[in-house]
Amino acid sequence: MSKMLLLEIGTEEIPARFLPDAIIKLKENAEKIFSEHRLIYKSIKTYATPRRLSMIAEVDPVQEAVEREVWGPPVNAAFDRDGKPTKAAESFAKMHGLNVKDLTKKEKGKGNYVVAVIKEAAQQTIDLLPEILSKLILSLNFPKSMRWGSGSLRFARPIHWIFSIYDNKKIPFEIDGIKSSTMTRGHRFLSPLAFEIKDCKAYINLLRNNFVILDPDERKKIIVDGAQKLASSVDASLIEDEDLFQHVTHLVEYPAPVLGTFPSEYLYLPKELLITVMKGHQKYFALKSAQGKLTNHFIIVSNTRNDNAEIIKKGAEKVIKARFEDALFYFEEDKKITLKNRLNDLKKVIYHERLGNLYDKSCRIASIADFIADKCFQLEQLEQFKQDVHAAALLSKTDLISGVVGEFPELQGIMGSYYAGNDGYNEDIAKALSEQYLPAFSGDRLPETPIGAVLSLSDKLDNIASFFMLGLTPTGTEDPFALRRQALGIISILIDKQYNISLSELFEKTLHTFSSQYQSIKVSKYQSIKDSNTLTLGLPARCTQTGTSDTSSVTRYSLLLDDLIKFFEQRIEPLFQSHGYPLDSISAVMNFAKDKPLYTIKERLDAIQKFKEDPDYESFLLAIKRVNNIAPKNDVPPVNTEMFIQEEEKNLYKEVESITLEISSLIEKNKYYDAIKLLLSLKEPINSFFDKVLVMDKNEEIKQNRLSLIKNIQKLAFQIADFSKLV
C-alpha cells in the first residue's frame, strides 16, 4: 500500500514568473528520479507559493526488485573443450559478483554466449529517500539563480527550511548546511512562527490555518470569484487578462481582493495607458462598464486578511493617483510636439550601430510600403491611399521618442495612434499606427486596416532583411530579434489579405532600400565569397543606376535572397501543417512559395485536398508517376509533330495541346481544382501511350521527340503542383 511523501522547500520570495515552470519541473524531475531509483508511485502533485515549493506523492514502501541480464563472452571462449571454465568466464563472473556455476548460456544471432543474471533486491523506500530528495532539490533550475552566505548551493532564492516526512516519519538529510525537519512556516506576517507537522494528511489544512493557500488553482479561484463579486457591486466587470491572473496568483499566499477607486478625471487619458499603469506597475485589475468603457474602479489583490481591506484600499488609491499624475504629465507634454516635428529627432536615435538610426529605418519602411501599396491595391482613390500609406510609414516610429512610450514601451504604436489623432491625421492613418506591430505573438489578431497591414509588412520585412544582412540569424535555440515570429506574421498577413505579391518581389525591394543609404556592410557569413569581406546592400550593381556588372555582388546578393526565402519556407510548412494540411500536399506546392503570392499556395492546397477525394485520384497519380519517371531533367527541343508514328502519341499530343491554354487560363484565375480536373483528362491517353509506344526508340530523333512530349506533360502538371510528392 502506498504511503504519503511530503517535501517542502521553504525560501525567500521567489519571483512570480519563475513559479509556473518550477511547478512543472518539480513534478517532471520527481518522476524521472523516482523511476531511476525504481520507486513505485501512484501520484505526484506539485504546488508553489512565493515562499515554498511543495510535492505530495504516494509512494510504495518498497522499491521495485529487478532482474537484468548482462551478456558475456561466447561459450567457446568461456569454456574449453572439456567444459571447464576459462579465465574469460571466471573474470566475467567475478566482475558481476557471481560464481561461474551461476552463469547461464543463451543464443544470440548465430552464436551462443554466457549470460550473467543479476538480481537487485528491493530496498525500503524510506532508506532511499534522503539521497532521492537531495538529488531532487539540486535538480531544479531557474531562469536566474543565486548563491548566498558561504555555501555553494544555487537556487532561485535563499532556502530557509526543508520540510520532509514519509509515512509521518521524518526523512533526515542535509543540503549545503540546511537540515531537513518536520517544521514548516505559515504566512510571513500573519503566521510567522514555525510549527510542526506530524500527520501528512493534515499538511494542506494546517497551512491554510496559518494563512497559506498552497494550491495555485485554489488561489486563482479566490481571486477571480472575489474580483468578479466586487466588480458587480459597482455595475462593472473585469477586463479579462489571463497573464495578470497567473502572475498575481503567484505573488500571494493568502489572496484577498479589494475594490479601489480613482478620480474620474483621469479617464481622460487613453484607456490603454490607464490599464498599463494599473497592470504594469501595480498588478491591479481594470474594470469596464456594461458598455465596454473603462471605469474609475480597479481591483487590488492583497496578501493579507479581509479585515485589512480598508488600509490596503487607501494605500492603493494613493499610489495609483500618483502614477496617473505622472502619466498625465507625460501625455500632455507629448501632445505639445507633433509627430511630424519629431521626425528629425529620430536621426538622434540609433536603431542598430550597423543599420543607422530610426529616421533611416522609417525611410526604408516608407519605401517598402509605397511599393506594396502600388503592387497590391487597385482602389478608386489610389493616390490618396498611397499618400496616407507613405505618411503613416514615416510617422510609424516617432512615438518611440515620446515621454509615455519611454516610460511604457509596451504602448509603442498605440500612443502614436492617439498623437496622430491629436495632430489632425485621418482615422485610417491613426489606426494604422496602432496596428503596425500586429501580430505581436502567435495567435494574435492581424491588422484590420489596409494601411495597418502594409505598415506591419514593411516593418517586419525591414527587420528580417536587416538582421540577415548582418548575419544575426536565428539559431536552433536563440532568436533574440524574434525573426521567426515576424516571419509568421508576414506569412499570415499575405495569406489573409490575399496580396498579389511574391516573397521574391518583397525581399528584392526590401534589400534595394538599403542601397540609397549605405555602400557596404561587413557580413562575416559572406566574407569567403570572391575574397570580399563586404556585402553590397540592396540590389546588385547590374540592377542599380550604374548599369555595370558586379559578379561578386550579384553572387552575394543571390545567396542572401536565397537564405531569406528558405527561412520563410521553413516557416510556411509547419504553419500549414498546424492548419490541418498533410505534409505531402504541402510538399507538392512548396516550389511556388518563392515566386507566387502566398495566398495562392493555400488555394492550391485546398484544391489538392478536394482532389484527394476524387475516385480517380490514385490512378491519376500512377499515370503522372509514369511521366515523371522518364521525363528528362534537362531542357528538351520543341515537339515535332511530323515525327509522330503511332496513333497513341498523336492522340496524346492532341489532348495536351487542347487543354494547355485553358489550364494556364484557369491558373491565372486561381481556379486550381478546375485545372486539376482538366489535367485528369490526360490519364487515359498517358496510359495508352506508355502501354503501346516504345519511348526509348532506337532512332535517336524519334526517342528525343517522344521525351519532349513527356516533358511538356510534366511542365503542364508542374504549373499546378508537383504531383510526384503526393501519396
List 299's β-bridge partners, or say none.
259, 285
Those residues with Cβ within 8 angstroms of residue 565's Cβ, 6 or more apart along the chain or in another chain: 503, 504, 507, 593, 594
Does pLDDT of 55 surpass 60?
Answer: yes
Domain ranges of the chain: 3-62+124-209, 66-120, 216-335, 353-580, 602-725
Paired with 117 in beta bridges are 69
* Phi, psi dihedrals of residue 717, rounded to the nearest 5°: -65, -40
Task: Please determine, for residue 440, whether its predicted confidence score (pLDDT) is greater than 70.
Answer: yes
Among the listed residues 177, 524, 513, the one whose alpha carbon sits nearest the alpha carbon of residue 362: 513
| Cβ atoms < 10 Å from Cβ of 374 | 11
Alpha-carbon 278 to chain mean position: 28
Taking the C-alpha atoms of residue 265 and residue 103, their distance in angstroms, rounded to an integer, is 89
Contact 9, 53 (CB under 8 A): yes
Q: Determine how many CB atoms are found less than 10 A away from the CB of residue 689.
A: 27
Interatomic CA distance for residues 114 and 77, integer angstroms: 9
Between 558 and 159, the higher pLDDT residue: 159
| Extended strands (E) in 512-655 | 521-522, 534-535
pLDDT at 536 over 70: no
Mean pLDDT score, 653-669: 93
Q: How confident is the model at residue 534 (pLDDT cuts 50, 70, 90)?
A: very low
Look at residue 520 and tell me whether its pLDDT is greater than 70: no
**For residue 535, what pLDDT is reported?**
39
Q: For residues 578 and 238, what is the distance between their CA atoms, to the nearest angstrom? A: 32
Q: At what angle do helices 617-630 and 683-692 cross, to 10 degrees?
A: 50
When pLDDT is cut at 50, 70 and 90, the band that residue 538 belongs to is very low
Q: Are 559 and 507 in contact (CB under 8 A)?
A: no
Average pLDDT over residues 415-428: 96
Q: Which of 54, 60, 61 is nearest to 6 (CA)?
A: 54
Amino acid at 669: K
Check residue 636 and give its pLDDT: 87
Say how many Å lie between the first and final Cα of the chain, rounded: 53
DSSP state of 631: S
Query: How far is CA 251 from each of CA 16, 18, 307, rounded to the nearest angstrom?
Result: 5, 11, 20
pLDDT of residue 552: 56
Return the SS3 of 640: coil
- C-beta separation of 459 from 440 below 8 A: no
Q: 598 near 495, Cβ under 8 Å?
A: yes
- Mean pLDDT calculated for residue range 542-552: 41
Q: What's the pLDDT at 544?
A: 36
Q: What is the 3-state secondary structure (H, E, C) of 656-699?
A: HHHHHHHHHHHHHCCCHHHHHHHHHCCHHHHHHHHHHCCCCCCC
Encode 191-205: b = buried (16+ Cβ within 10 Å), e = exposed: beeeeebeebeebbe
Whether residue 502 is predicted with pLDDT greater than 70 in this model: the reply is yes
Question: How sure is the predictor about 516, in pLDDT bands with cuts at 50, 70 and 90?
Answer: low
C-alpha cell at 641: 509533330
Helix H or strand E segment including 387: helix 382-395
Query: Can you read off the three cell numbers belonging to residue 216?
Result: 495555485
Q: Residues 458-487: pLDDT tens digits?
A: 999 999 999 998 888 998 888 999 999 999
Q: Residue 356: what pLDDT?
A: 86
Q: What residues contact 602, with CB distance under 8 A and at least 6 apart? A: 495, 576
Does the pLDDT of residue 517 top 60, yes or no?
no
Q: Which of 450, 548, 568 is nearest to 505 (CA)?
A: 568
- The mean pLDDT value for 375-388 works out to 88
> Are 527 and 538 a contacting pair, CB within 8 Å?
no
Pairwise CA distance, residues 496 & 158, whole Å:
51
Cis preceding linkage at 172, omega within 30: no
Instruction: Return the bridge partners of 124, or none.
Output: 62
Q: Is the pLDDT of residue 419 over 80?
A: yes
471 φ/ψ sector (left φ>0, alpha ψ -120 to 50, else beta): left
Helix axes 19-36, 125-139, angle to 10 degrees: 140
pLDDT, position 553: 56
Most distant CA atoms of the chain, gap in Å = 106
Q: What local confidence, expressed as pLDDT, does residue 69 receive?
A: 85
Of 173-177, 308-312, 546-550, 698-702, give the lowest mean pLDDT range: 546-550
- Show Cβ contacts of residue 664 under 8 Å, excluding neighbours closer than 6 positions: 719
Cut 0.95: pTM above it: no
If we measure between CA atoms, which residue out of 406, 229, 243 comes closest to residue 329? 406
3-state secondary structure of 288: strand
pLDDT at position 342 over 90: yes
Which burial class, exposed, middle or buried, applies to 587 when counting CB atoms under 10 A from its CB (0-12, 13-18, 19+)? middle
Question: What class does CATH assign to 602-725?
Answer: mainly alpha
Average pLDDT over all residues of the chain:
90
Q: Among 20-24, 526-530, 635-639, name the one with the lowest average pLDDT.
A: 526-530
Confidence of residue 545 (pLDDT cuts 50, 70, 90): very low
Look at residue 555 in the predicted model and tell me its pLDDT: 66
For residue 296, count other CB atoms closer than 10 A to its CB: 17
What residues are paired with 68 via a beta bridge? 118
**Mean pLDDT computed over 646-653:** 92
What tens digit of pLDDT does each residue of 257-303 get?
999 999 999 999 999 999 999 998 799 999 999 999 999 999 999 99
Q: Are 457 and 366 in contact (CB under 8 A)?
A: no
Model confidence at 390, in pLDDT bands (50, 70, 90)? Answer: very high
Proportion of the chain in helix, strand, coil states, percent, rounded to 5:
55, 15, 30
What pLDDT score was predicted for residue 381? 81
